[in-house]
Structure 1
């Protein structure tokens, strides 16, 4: 089942993860929309492998939007600190169940300035 707790646990795992984490969680046709670009699954995996980890992360104000019995979106505010720089954004991730496992199909970030 796609619960808020389960999807936020996936989001936290992705924030702490590398390309291998994204490879395991993304659907084969996933899109990741970040400020200034749209990445397909392979481009996202490569980008995550090249990115240093966050020094710290915070997640708050999470909401679950049920779409179908096998799909849901989670929307929340994220803050990550890396090398003294802070990134804050509102994130939205749409998941589908594949063999009982939540897989990320679409992720979008809107930076908060």
Structure 2
């Protein structure tokens, strides 16, 4: 793999990225889009003609990793998990209250 441009670890299948500083990144349909790597980063060609490349899910053809920036979506999942936990707690409380209300109603009959 050429080390000409990237100072980070090679891209891996399944990692998430956004495009930057390239023609595709300026296209409104791609602007800010989060891409998933379809393959690990690989080098094609030899010598001065070698080029790091990668395939992206939903993108036709190769893409140059130099124009991809990793995206950390962990905080998004963390926030989503907090909301889900809160909703589950509220549902449990409601069900406990509802169950108790039904018992009291049955006792009144």
Q: TM-score, normalised by structure 2?
A: 0.32
Greater fraction strand: 1
Greater fraction helix: 2
Larger RCO, structure (CA 8 Å, separation 6 or more): 1
